[in-house]
Amino acid sequence: MATQANIVIIGGGVIGLSAAFYIARDRERSHPKGRIIVLEKESVIGAGATGKNAGGVRMQFSSPVNIEFSRISIEIFERFTAETGHHLSFTQCGYLFLLTTPDAVQRYDTSAALQRSLGVEVRFLSPAEIHKMAPALKVDDVIRANFCPRDGVLDPNDLAVGYYHAARALGVEVLTQTEAVGIDTAGDNITGVRIRSHGEDTTIPTATVVNAAGPFARNIARMAGLELSVQPFKRQIVTTGPLSFINPEFPMVVDVASGLYCHRETPGLLLGWADKRVVAGYDESVDSDYTDEILMRGLARIPALEDATINRAWAGLYETTPDHLAIIGRAPDRPGMIYVSGFSGHGVMHAPAAGIVVADIIAEREPTIDIHELSPERFAKGALVSEANVI
């Protein structure tokens, strides 16, 4: 356990596992092999934010870097079996953004122009076209919708398991029930990660730590004497029992005015909403008032939900940054710490591209995607470019 590791990745969700796979594959092809260890404090991989994710995947963002992360990730989702050797349930049912005010239309016109300039196929649908696609939706107040057919929904568990097995096949060690409890340093350098596993404490000597700890990334950074602008916020989801009126082509629907989102979750619907009044913290208890608010917003857009039964509800954590963009790169004051955190609800959909970029950073080559807007130093410099299309 205490032998030297070339790289320790903290966090066994999709981001950490994707990074492990692409780093290991990169080294298998062109670099000397080294020991790569992933630490996951829970008993199974993907038990945190990954397993509680709604699974949405979209290119309809307002920032070029998020669009590019999605474009590369979707290309990988479409060939995931060839990429990893493992199955991924990925349904390209499209994302449908319902616009009910002139201001929203104007904002999404601007986003659509950017998206199209970057090769994203975005269509404008009339209320009649929306009704044809999803007859259950109430559209009498809708001006139009933005729709991208390559967007869709995937199974986060499939994604995590696929990257886990693919990384393991390349020699990556994944230690579950193993928590990082400290990071040792000497000057600006990292020298080791202190861990607790099954009640036993030990240290893994290493000079490189990848912080993929999701909502807990700030805590990991502080172990190395660093500050990271990531905070956890509770979000809730509810699923229904079987619904005969939801057709197989039902898209991922985002009601921009109310913040409601929903998609087909066989045999019913998954519904969610981001309550912006929630304060930062690690509370993941299910709040019945929060659930009721989601259902009321759902009823307003899908009246037939009045007769639906509730299957289950759960809560998870968004790892949120002030500008709703991820933080990726080496810590300026401690370059042995590499951040890949703060995805603000977009971690599952951006996991492949994020893993590829981390592998680029480890190999000290120009990243596949221009990530200057994701620099850990940007918050000190000010003039942030925020992602506007946040759900």
* Mean of the per-residue pLDDT values of the chain: 95
Q: Are residues 130 and 103 in the same domain?
A: yes
Query: Are residue 163 and residue 301 in the same domain, yes or no?
Result: no
pLDDT class for 1, splitting at 50, 70, 90? very low
- The three-state secondary structure class of 162 is helix
Q: What SS3 class is residue 200?
A: strand
What radius of gyration do the chain's Cα atoms show?
21
| Residue 17 maps to a domain | yes
pLDDT digits (tens, 9 = 90+) for 201-253: 999 999 999 999 999 999 999 999 999 999 999 999 999 999 999 988 899 99
DSSP 228-296: ---EEEEEEEEEES--TT--TT--EEEETTT--EEEEETTEEEEEE--TTPPSS---PPPHHHHHHHHH
Confidence at residue 384, expressed as pLDDT on a 0 to 100 scale: 73
Flag whether 205 is in a domain.
yes
Q: Which pairing describes strands 231-240 and 200-205: parallel, antiparallel, or unpaired? A: unpaired
CA distances from 69 to 91, 258, 266, 356 (A): 19, 26, 28, 10
Last residue of a domain, one of 320, 342, 373: 320
pLDDT, tens digit, 9 for 90 and up, residues 338-354: 999 999 999 999 999 99
Confirm whether 59 is domain-assigned: no
% the chain with pLDDT above 70: 98
For residues 25 and 123, state if they share a domain.
no
Q: What is the CATH number of the domain that holds 315?
A: 3.30.9.10
Q: Clarify whether residues 330 and 221 are in a common domain.
A: yes
Residues 289 and 241 in one domain: yes
**CB-based contacts of 43: which residues, under 8 Å, 6+ apart?**
176, 177
Verify that 354 and 302 share a domain, yes or no: no
278 within some domain: yes
How confident is residue 2, by pLDDT bands cut at 50, 70 and 90?
Answer: low
Q: Cis bond leading into 102, ω under 30°?
A: no
Residue 131 shares a structural domain with residue 243? yes
Same domain, residue pair 299 and 315: yes
Of the candidates 20, 278, 11, 67, the one whose C-alpha atom is nearest the C-alpha of residue 172 is 20
* 207: amino acid identity, one letter: A
pLDDT at 107: 96
- Within-domain flag for 58: no
**pLDDT at 159 (0 to 100):** 98
Same domain, 137 and 211: no
Tokens, residue 341: 């955190």
Q: Is residue 60 part of a domain?
A: no
Is 387 within a domain? no
Instruction: Judge if 262 and 225 occupy the same domain.
Output: no
> What pLDDT is stored for residue 30 in this prediction?
65
- Residue listed under structure tokens 């007769």: 307
Q: Quick check: 377 pLDDT over 60? A: yes
Please write the tens of the pLDDT for every residue from 68-105. 999 999 999 999 999 999 999 999 999 999 999 999 99
In a domain, 264, yes or no: yes
Give the range of the structural domain holding residue 100, as residue numbers without chain letter. Answer: 95-149+232-320
Domain CATH for 358: 3.50.50.60
Q: How many domains does the chain have?
A: 2
Q: In the listed set 290, 320, 350, which residue is the last one of a domain according to the structure?
A: 320
pLDDT of residue 34: 85
**210 shares its domain with 336:** yes
Percent of the chain past pLDDT 90, that is, above it, reads: 92
- 166 and 314 assigned to the same domain: no
pTM of the model: 0.96
